[in-house]
Amino acid sequence: MRKYLRQAGICLVVAVALPAGAAIAKPEGSSPVPSVDAVGIWTHRDVGSASTPPMGWNSWNAFGTAITEAKVIGSAEVIRDSGLAEAGFRSINIDDGWWRKRRLNDGRMQVRTNLFPSAAVGGAEETSLRPFTDRLHAMGLRAGIYTDIGRNACSQAWSPDNPNLPEGTVAEREVGLHGHVEQDLALYFGDWNFDYAKVDACGIAHYAATRPNVVDHTFRELPPLVVDADANRSDIPAVQGLYAQVRDTLRRIRPKGDFVLSLCNWGSANVRAWGKDFGTMWRTSNDIDPSWGRMLHNFDSVATRELYAGPGHWNDPDMLEIGNGPFDADHPVEARAHMSLWAIAAAPLIIGTDLTKAAPQTIATLNNREVIAVDQDPAGNQGVIAYTDDEREIVVKTLAVRGVKAVALINRTAEPTEVTLTAAHLKFAANRPIMLRDLWAHADLGDLGGERTFKLAPHETMMLTAKGAPQLASGFFLSEMPGRINVAVDGIPALEPDPVIHRMIDPYHAGTTWDGNRPAYAGWGGPRADATPYDQSLRIAGTAYRSGLGVLANSRLEVKADGAFSRFVARVGVDDSTRGKRAAVRFEVYGDGKRLAMSPPLRFAHPAVEISAPITGVRVIELVVRQLGSAEGNVVASWAEARVE
């Protein structure tokens, strides 16, 4: 379906020098010189409203640019009539291919009416998508539109032979937001009444002066601000500045915040760290496609970012491929695994298949209310990895009801395997009952009995809920509630690619002959739940800890306590896996801006020190690790067993 020819493009793009980008003002949320001093408030502000992960349908994985109004409405009708709308799949989003041109006299965007007949309204507007959104709204659904942050879009860069590319002169074909943010968003969210925008980034990535279709004047040059797989050569403040303009404009147009802004720059430019401050959701990797390895790759790109998501802001591993290729009705095990991984990760659930042709089995997989309830749990905690090796993973998501967890037992391989789940994985007391339920079989499985071994078929993910007595008599380990944590300062001194994302090749490069860039998403060194920032177990002076937060020195985390707890306790120290062994660090705990507790200076190999602080009435706890003096490498610091009681 896709006719992208990315190879040549990427070769050329990497040969281009970046512009300074200095003209763009520092946007809210970006912090070039981070201070770890406490600020006394929860600084994160959600963009739009999606207190649970957005759910809906998008045309791209099903149709590419070959969309029509009839196809979109066809799938929307299935959503309305099959129970999927009632299950929460309500946003019907059109992707690339809907636009015809930008009208030259006033810049107003024109719709491709041969594809969207209801848009041929005539009069001064000529075309309008309002009849289309009215129809979706009348069906009880919402409407999403697609655009690009640059002047031009992805299919223009990569599918020159596509019949549905924008038409006309160079200026008429500039359909992206660049230079038209106010005008286009007023049209899309005002006149046309869309609720959701996906904002792609090819326009700021793939229109370098050296590109053949820029050289031949098909498109105007836009010096790349984003270089795929190369965060160092991406102009991060400039990219943030552009997305901030979109965010701020939408907030003005929709002052009640009733919109979703989906950032789509494919995990590039370190968006995995800052997307939360600029969009409702942000892509953490390159495009998914219907393949088992690619699905795992995209899951991996969110799985270690549990502290960056929370209610109102979501890591996005891309749209679902359930119903397509190896996730179709003939592959129910793989389809269920895909759905389970997205649900345990609290990922947006955006269906990407032609529902008019979907088998009942596909609809049933998408419509599993027990699995959807895990994804949509109001606590908004992303699942945390409790166990991982090359073949198997156990991911545990703390749900809003105390003593209830969801757990995914994952077999990544094409061989059968066994996974043993223990009370410790769940942070439940082993000597009390732990009642299990299988969310695909819709069957209660009885008591875990301390631990239980499950046989998993090739590619199978079992999705369970577990009800038990939390290890802590009251309160939580902070690593059980990642949705209440805001990574304010990550302490990463220099960007590094994240090596734990399985190295699936770019989806648009087929075969092993490609010698171009390897997938490399920045973010290595970001704070983690129940692991160090470099993916080791938490360990201080030889003692291992199963619970805690692993951070780098010079970091600051905000924890939303909302006055619900009375004491913060942790065992702190430099982690045994630290790179910098020389410098000391100091752990500081703040409550609503006041320092409540502080550790002595601690160095590598010093035994863990208990730090405890009264937090009655405290709304925001801040956890600061300050480095004292210089180190020979980044200092890894562990808030072991960090908990609120």
Q: Are 380 and 312 in contact (CB under 8 A)?
A: yes
In the complex, least distance from residue 157 CB atom to ligand GLA, rounded to whole angstroms = 8
Sequence-separated (6 or more) residues with CB below 8 Å from residue 393: 303, 385, 387, 408, 409, 410, 412
Cα dist. 322→94, 362, 410 in Å? Answer: 18, 7, 17
In the complex, least distance from residue 61 CB atom to ligand GLA, rounded to whole angstroms = 8
Q: How far apart are CA 117 and CA 130, in angstroms?
A: 12
In the complex, least distance from residue 124 CB atom to ligand GLA, rounded to whole angstroms = 30
Candidate residues 264, 489, 570, 644; the one interacting with ligand GLA per rule CB under 6 A: 264
In the complex, least distance from residue 552 CB atom to ligand GLA, rounded to whole angstroms = 30
Candidate residues 93, 155, 234, 368; the one interacting with ligand GLA per rule CB under 6 A: 155
266 vs 604, which CB is nearer to ligand GLA?
Answer: 266
For residues 196 to 215, the per-residue mask of contacts with ligand GLA, x marking binding by CB under 6 A and - elsewhere, is: ----x---------------
178 vs 412, which CB is nearer to ligand GLA?
Answer: 178
**Environment class of 233 (CB within 10 Å of its CB; exposed 0-12, middle 13-18, buried 19+):** middle
Listed residue (362, 298, 293, 290) closest to 325, CA to CA = 290
111 vs 154, which CB is nearer to ligand GLA?
Answer: 154
Dihedrals phi, psi of 45, to nearest 5 degrees: -125, 120
98 vs 568, which CB is nearer to ligand GLA?
Answer: 98
| C-beta nearest to ligand GLA: residue | 154
Cα dist. 57→63, 279, 364, 440 in Å? Answer: 12, 19, 15, 22
60 vs 568, which CB is nearer to ligand GLA?
Answer: 60
Residue 95, beta-bridge partner list? none
Candidate residues 287, 490, 575, 622; the one interacting with ligand GLA per rule CB under 6 A: 287
200 vs 235, which CB is nearer to ligand GLA?
Answer: 200
Q: Are 396 and 448 in contact (CB under 8 A)?
A: no
287 vs 300, which CB is nearer to ligand GLA?
Answer: 287
154 vs 344, which CB is nearer to ligand GLA?
Answer: 154
In the complex, least distance from residue 58 CB atom to ligand GLA, rounded to whole angstroms = 8
282 vs 477, which CB is nearer to ligand GLA?
Answer: 282
Structure tokens at 488: 């304010």
In the complex, least distance from residue 109 CB atom to ligand GLA, rounded to whole angstroms = 17
Listed residue (234, 267, 230, 239) closest to 178, CA to CA = 239
For residues 161 to 200, the per-residue mask of contacts with ligand GLA, x marking binding by CB under 6 A and - elsewhere, is: ---------------------------------------x
In the complex, least distance from residue 69 CB atom to ligand GLA, rounded to whole angstroms = 18
Cα torsion 478, 480, 484, 489: sign? positive
For residues 10 to 49, the per-residue mask of contacts with ligand GLA, x marking binding by CB under 6 A and - elsewhere, is: ----------------------------------------
Q: What is the largest CA-CA distance in the chain?
A: 76
Q: How far apart are CA 74 and CA 59, in angstroms?
A: 11
Cα dist. 601→25, 35, 477, 549 in Å? Answer: 38, 19, 24, 19
- The residue with tokens 């749990």 is 377
Cα torsion 558, 559, 560, 564: sign? negative
Q: How far apart are CA 64 and CA 61, in angstroms?
A: 6
In the complex, least distance from residue 613 CB atom to ligand GLA, rounded to whole angstroms = 44
Dihedrals phi, psi of 313, to nearest 5 degrees: -150, 125
Q: How far apart are CA 354 and CA 64, in angstroms?
A: 11
In the complex, least distance from residue 270 CB atom to ligand GLA, rounded to whole angstroms = 17
Task: Give 437-463 as a DSSP string.
Answer: EETTTTEEEEE-TTEEEEEE-TT-EEE
Candidate residues 96, 393, 506, 530; the one interacting with ligand GLA per rule CB under 6 A: 96
In the complex, least distance from residue 199 CB atom to ligand GLA, rounded to whole angstroms = 10
How is residue 18 annotated by DSSP? P
275 vs 580, which CB is nearer to ligand GLA?
Answer: 275
Q: Are 199 and 148 in contact (CB under 8 A)?
A: yes
In the complex, least distance from residue 176 CB atom to ligand GLA, rounded to whole angstroms = 12
368 part of the interface to ligand GLA, by CB under 6 A: no
96 vs 277, which CB is nearer to ligand GLA?
Answer: 96
Q: Are 536 and 304 in contact (CB under 8 A)?
A: no
Structure tokens at 482: 């990642």
Q: How far apart are CA 43 and CA 48, in angstroms?
A: 16
Listed residue (74, 90, 94) closest to 144, CA to CA = 94
Candidate residues 94, 109, 145, 154; the one interacting with ligand GLA per rule CB under 6 A: 154
110 vs 155, which CB is nearer to ligand GLA?
Answer: 155
271 vs 307, which CB is nearer to ligand GLA?
Answer: 271
In the complex, least distance from residue 398 CB atom to ligand GLA, rounded to whole angstroms = 30
320 vs 596, which CB is nearer to ligand GLA?
Answer: 320
63 vs 639, which CB is nearer to ligand GLA?
Answer: 63
How is residue 428 annotated by DSSP? B
Residue list 516-545, contact with ligand GLA (CB under 6 A): none
Cα dist. 379→20, 88, 310, 374, 404 in Å? Answer: 41, 17, 8, 10, 12
For residues 384 to 423, the per-residue mask of contacts with ligand GLA, x marking binding by CB under 6 A and - elsewhere, is: ----------------------------------------
In the complex, least distance from residue 348 CB atom to ligand GLA, rounded to whole angstroms = 12
Q: What angle do CA 429, 433, 437 make, to 5 degrees?
A: 110
95 part of the interface to ligand GLA, by CB under 6 A: yes
287 vs 490, which CB is nearer to ligand GLA?
Answer: 287
Candidate residues 219, 266, 587, 604; the one interacting with ligand GLA per rule CB under 6 A: 266
Q: How far apart are CA 166 and CA 110, in angstroms?
A: 9
Q: How far apart are CA 592 and CA 320, in angstroms?
A: 40
Structure tokens at 63: 């149709």
In the complex, least distance from residue 60 CB atom to ligand GLA, rounded to whole angstroms = 5
228 part of the interface to ligand GLA, by CB under 6 A: no
Q: Are 635 and 492 in contact (CB under 8 A)?
A: no
Residue list 46-75, contact with ligand GLA (CB under 6 A): 60
In the complex, least distance from residue 93 CB atom to ligand GLA, rounded to whole angstroms = 10
Number of residues that bind ligand GLA (CB under 6 A): 9
Interface residues with ligand GLA (CB under 6 A)? Answer: 60, 95-96, 154-155, 200, 264, 266, 287
